[in-house]
Amino acid sequence: MVKELKKEDIDENAIEEWKKACEDSKPLFNGYPVCKEHNVLLTIFGCHVCND
C-alpha cells in the first residue's frame, strides 16, 4: 500500500478534519501520554508492555 502511494493521493486537509473530530480529552491535545515504566506510547488499552 505504501509503495503504491503517490503525492496526489495525499489529502493535505485531512489533518484539519481529524483535529476537528478529536475531543479535548484525546492524546492529540494532551501530549501523547507514555507509560512511566516503559516509555512507550499508551493506547486505549494502556501500555502494550505492561499488558503483555
Would 23 be classed as within a structural domain?
yes
pTM for the whole structure: 0.42
Would 4 be classed as within a structural domain?
no
Does the structure show a pLDDT above 80 at 26? no
> Phi, psi at residue 43, to the nearest 5°?
-110, -175
Give the C-alpha separation, 47 to 52, whole Å.
8
Would 1 be classed as within a structural domain?
no
Instruction: Give me the amino acid identity at 42.
Output: L
Q: How many domains does the chain have?
A: 1
Would 48 be classed as within a structural domain?
yes
pLDDT digits (tens, 9 = 90+) for 27-45: 667 778 889 999 998 888 8
Tracing cell 491535545 back to the chain, one arrives at 29
User: What are 14's three cell numbers?
Assistant: 485531512
Contact 40, 32 (CB under 8 A): no
Would 5 be classed as within a structural domain?
no
The runs of H, that is alpha helices, within the chain are 14-21
Domain extent, residue 26, equals: 11-52
Would 46 be classed as within a structural domain?
yes
